[in-house]
Amino acid sequence: MEVLTSDSLATAIRNSASYVHLSVDESSYLAEHILNFFGYSDRIIDNVLHPEDRDTFYMLEDATLMETEREETTLYDGREWRIHYWLLRHSEIFNRRDSGPQVVPEAAEPSVYDEISDDLWSRKGPETEDEE
């Protein structure tokens, strides 16, 4: 299995349609920030995240670079306890890194101005008629 590096994650982030606007420095910072949570683990527990970081994780989940997992266990008193985890999708990250930018073409919306001829755009002075 290939080792996930911050450069690989940064490239995968930049190649995602939602993040093509990020610079190399911004995507590198984001990749390092994300990987610092994981360390040498494949998953992290959701409870360690601050709300801002959790929002970032949700955005990367929307870009299909991360996913969540849930585990349920029974406590001694009989209650069910749910533990939520975040996982990096290594295969998707490597595929996105290798595939290049995923630019979604913007649909060109028709404009009312497209139908107006160029000669109507030129400004003319007021037309006066001589009355006799």
Q: What is the pLDDT of residues 18-29, one digit of tens each?
A: 888 888 999 999
Q: Is residue 115 part of a domain?
A: no
Q: Is residue 109 part of a domain?
A: no
pLDDT band at 117 (very low <50, low <70, confident <90, very high): confident
Q: Is residue 118 part of a domain?
A: no
Range from 33-47, 71-85, 90-104 carrying the lowest mean pLDDT = 90-104
> What pLDDT is recorded for position 122?
74
Q: Is residue 132 part of a domain?
A: no
Q: Is residue 108 part of a domain?
A: no
Q: Is residue 69 part of a domain?
A: yes
- Name the strand (E) or helix (H) holding 66: strand 66-74
Q: Is residue 77 part of a domain?
A: yes
Q: Are 101 and 14 in contact (CB under 8 A)?
A: yes
Give which of 122, 34, 114, 45 is closest to 86, Cα–Cα. 45
Structural domain count, the chain: 1
Q: Is residue 106 part of a domain?
A: no
Q: Which domain holds residue 48?
A: 6-99
pLDDT band at 106 (very low <50, low <70, confident <90, very high): low
pLDDT band at 127 (very low <50, low <70, confident <90, very high): low
> What pLDDT is recorded for position 112?
74
